Amino acid sequence: MKKVLSCIQPTGDMHFGNYFGAVKNWVDLQSDYNCVYGVVDYHSMTMPYKPKKLRENTWSLIFNLLAVGIKPENLFIQSLIPEHAELCWIFNCFTSYGHLQRMTQFKDKSSQSSEKDSGFISAGLLDYPVLQAADILIYHADYVPVGKDQEQHLELSRAIAQRFNNQVGKEYFVLPECLFTETPKILSTADPSRKMSKSAGEKHYINVFAEEARIRKQIKSAVTDTGDTPKGEISAGIKNLFELLKACGKSEAHDSLLADYTNGSLKYVDLKETVANALVELNTQFSNKRNELMSNKKEIKNQIKQSSFEIRQRAQQTVKEVKDLTGLVNVRF
């Protein structure tokens, strides 16, 4: 079976944009591939953060991922596997400084943080993609399901793997590839000209684990027509509601409401109600699961520590082989 790896930063709430755009795909891939998924808390230290919040968000994300169907044995917490950081150091010495400076995400984030934090830009932010390469290569992953924004980071991972292989004279690392799956792009219901995202503020995303009433309210107040849609086209807001309905697996309701739209008989309240019901159905299922997991909080946390420990053995094996190949002193000297 081919190996799949992906990781996600612990940053608070999981919204339907994250779920339909990425996490649902991770859940589905588990039946066809050998998958490991990481919550990457080391990565979250690259930008200013609060220690208590980081730990809280890490566990909260673990519970969210388990609630939507990630299998516990496939899930790890990055900082419980310090070999990621160790391999990152070794990879630093196989990475060109100029290549890191040219990364788009570094340029974006460093300009953001220089505005906010009196010019402080951590070296971790520059090094971020090398740690990401370590996350991927340490498990010899064949495929990495990510969004288009991560393509450049994957290219860097391949460049590091290639340089390493050339220098040690052995095809040791697999060159990982992006796995782009067609996933729905969900927009903000409050402003369908932008993506659903947390950075724009609370009304721009619908939390997967929100109270039912809040979801209904957010859909009820979704922007539909803004009056500037060219004739014969569906407005971005309406298109987004149809997209959500399809993403929820309600294709029959989707097709019949779309037919109503086409013949001019669709009432937006009906569309909104159907979308709200579909989201609430998923929300109820996931929230119930999450509550069940939370009532065994301690056990579940131990289970994830155990799975991280087991996944760690694979990482340790890689680091041991890398030490042999790179001339570092190994345990058996």
Q: Which residues carry out catalysis?
A: 109, 195, 198
Considering the rule CB under 6 A, would residue 84 count as an interface residue with ligand TRP? no
Q: Which stretch binds ligand TRP (CB under 6 A): 11-19, 144-152, 158-166, 243-251?
A: 144-152
Strand order across the beta sheet in which 3-8 lies: 75-77, 34-39, 3-8, 143-145, 177-179
CB of residue 227 vs ligand TRP: minimum separation in angstroms?
Answer: 36
Considering the rule CB under 6 A, would residue 103 count as an interface residue with ligand TRP? no
Number of residues in contact with ligand TRP under rule CB under 6 A: 13
Q: How many CB atoms lie within 10 A of CB 51?
A: 8
- How many angstroms separate the CA atoms of 70 and 30, rounded? 8
Considering the rule CB under 6 A, would residue 57 count as an interface residue with ligand TRP? no
By C-beta, is 144 or 282 nearer to ligand TRP? 144
Residue from 15, 24, 43, 216 in contact with ligand TRP (CB under 6 A): 43
Considering the rule CB under 6 A, would residue 307 count as an interface residue with ligand TRP? no
CB of residue 222 vs ligand TRP: minimum separation in angstroms?
Answer: 27
Considering the rule CB under 6 A, would residue 6 count as an interface residue with ligand TRP? yes
> By the 8 A CB rule, do 158 and 176 touch?
yes
Listed residue (99, 126, 103) closest to 114, CA to CA: 126
Considering the rule CB under 6 A, would residue 40 count as an interface residue with ligand TRP? yes
- How many angstroms separate the CA atoms of 201 and 294, rounded? 27
Instruction: Classify 39 as helix, strand or coil.
Output: strand
Backbone phi and psi for residue 42, each to the nearest 5 degrees, phi listed first: -60, -40
Strand stretches in the chain, DSSP E = 3-8, 34-39, 75-77, 143-145, 177-179
CB of residue 40 vs ligand TRP: minimum separation in angstroms?
Answer: 5
Considering the rule CB under 6 A, would residue 46 count as an interface residue with ligand TRP? no
Considering the rule CB under 6 A, would residue 290 count as an interface residue with ligand TRP? no
Considering the rule CB under 6 A, would residue 44 count as an interface residue with ligand TRP? no
Q: Which stretch binds ligand TRP (CB under 6 A): 63-71, 118-126, 143-151, 229-237?
A: 143-151
CB of residue 87 vs ligand TRP: minimum separation in angstroms?
Answer: 12
Considering the rule CB under 6 A, would residue 316 count as an interface residue with ligand TRP? no
Considering the rule CB under 6 A, would residue 146 count as an interface residue with ligand TRP? yes
CB of residue 146 vs ligand TRP: minimum separation in angstroms?
Answer: 5
Listed residue (84, 81, 77) closest to 37, CA to CA: 77
Instruction: Classify 177 as helix, strand or coil.
Output: strand
CB of residue 104 vs ligand TRP: minimum separation in angstroms?
Answer: 12
> By the 8 A CB rule, do 134 and 89 touch?
no
> By the 8 A CB rule, do 139 and 36 touch?
yes
CA–CA–CA angle 236, 239, 243 (5° rounding): 130
Residue from 41, 83, 127, 135 in contact with ligand TRP (CB under 6 A): 135
CA neighbours closer than 13 Å in the CB half-sphere of residue 292:
9
Considering the rule CB under 6 A, would residue 79 count as an interface residue with ligand TRP? no
Residue from 150, 207, 283, 307 in contact with ligand TRP (CB under 6 A): 150
CB of residue 246 vs ligand TRP: minimum separation in angstroms?
Answer: 24
Handedness of CA 20, 21, 23, 25 (dihedral sign): positive
State which amino acid sits at residue 88. C
For ligand TRP, which residue has the nearest CB?
Answer: 7
- How many angstroms separate the CA atoms of 130 and 128, rounded? 5
Considering the rule CB under 6 A, would residue 7 count as an interface residue with ligand TRP? yes
Which residues contribute to the site for ligand TRP (CB under 6 A)?
A: 5-7, 9, 40, 43, 132, 135-136, 144, 146, 150, 153
